[in-house]
Amino acid sequence: MKIIVDKKRINKDKIIIIIPGWKFPEIVFKEFKKEIPQEFGYIHYCYSSDLLNSDPQSTKKNCLRLMEKIEKDIHKLNKIKKRKIYLYAQSLGGIFAAYIADKIDTEKIIYIVPGENLAESFWKSTQTQDLKKEMQRKGHNLKKLKKIWKKISPDHHLKNHAKNAFYLIKLSIHDTIIPYEQGKKLIALLKKRKFKYELKEGFLPHSELCLFECLFPQNSINFFKEEEKN
């Protein structure tokens, strides 16, 4: 795990937590972080690609470790002084954001191509079929995986504190990495729980949309800046 912090701005009253997708390199967020206004600090969490692997229990342990690390870091900041927390999560990063939003009061959350259920997203993803086959050889199926990963899945969270945030969700109708239907299920869940959200849909495929949002982040930055939407 690598954590990137602008030490000159970590004492700001507003902090953006950046959580990338699986196998998404640190360098692509360079432009995003450059565009973050001076009144915001940020913490960028980078994790190894083997966080998600063919061992369901290992993946669960890895995810919980990162979730709890982010939660602990934010609590430490809030002990020094109360902050306004903003979450920016892409793809797999959405599972961490869902967990954090439930544990800590959050102002706004941006989800780029998220899913509602981790096991279903993994099982149907075009990017994880090799890992899926390894799991199947070890006797796992979707039903078992849902049970093992329940504690780290977005649909298990997004309750409690999470209902107080305002959400911006961007989906790709051509998404096969986290299937589009999974994104729509997440929207249905937010709607059912009467969360405040704004939905934007586009045509770029999953990875291309994540990259585009990093290279041209102004829409996301503006969303965080517009306090009146809260």
Q: Is residue 230 part of a domain?
A: no
pLDDT one-digit tens code per residue, 126-172: 999 999 999 999 999 999 999 999 999 999 999 988 999 999 999 99
Q: Is residue 78 part of a domain?
A: yes
User: Rounded distance, CA 130 to CA 18, Å?
Assistant: 28
**pLDDT of 229 over the 80 cut:** no
Q: Is residue 181 part of a domain?
A: yes
Q: What is the pLDDT of residue 160?
A: 84
- Let me know: does 52 contact 22? Beta carbons within 8 Å: yes
What mean pLDDT is reported for the chain?
Answer: 96
Q: What is the pLDDT of residue 18?
A: 98
Question: Taking residues 35-52, what's their average pLDDT?
Answer: 97
Q: How many domains does the chain have?
A: 1
**pLDDT of 226 over the 70 cut:** yes
Strand order in the sheet with 2-5: 2-5, 40-46, 14-19, 84-90, 108-112, 166-172, 196-202
CATH of the domain at 40: 3.40.50.1820
- Let me know: does 167 contact 108? Beta carbons within 8 Å: yes
CA distances from 67 to 17, 72, 194 (A): 12, 9, 25
Which helix or strand (DSSP H or E) is residue 3 part of?
A: strand 2-5
Q: What is the domain range of residue 59?
A: 2-225
Which tokens in the block code for residue 213? 């949002």
Q: Is residue 90 part of a domain?
A: yes
Cβ atoms within 10 A of the Cβ of 2, count? 9
What's the predicted TM-score (pTM) here?
0.95
**pLDDT of 185 over the 60 cut:** yes
pLDDT one-digit tens code per residue, 116-129: 999 999 999 999 99
Calculate what percentage of the chain has a pLDDT beyond 70.
98
Calculate what percentage of the chain has a pLDDT beyond 90.
96
Q: Is residue 180 part of a domain?
A: yes
Strand 40-46 and strand 14-19: the pairing is parallel
- Let me know: does 133 contact 164? Beta carbons within 8 Å: no
Angle CA 187–65–62, to nearest 5: 80
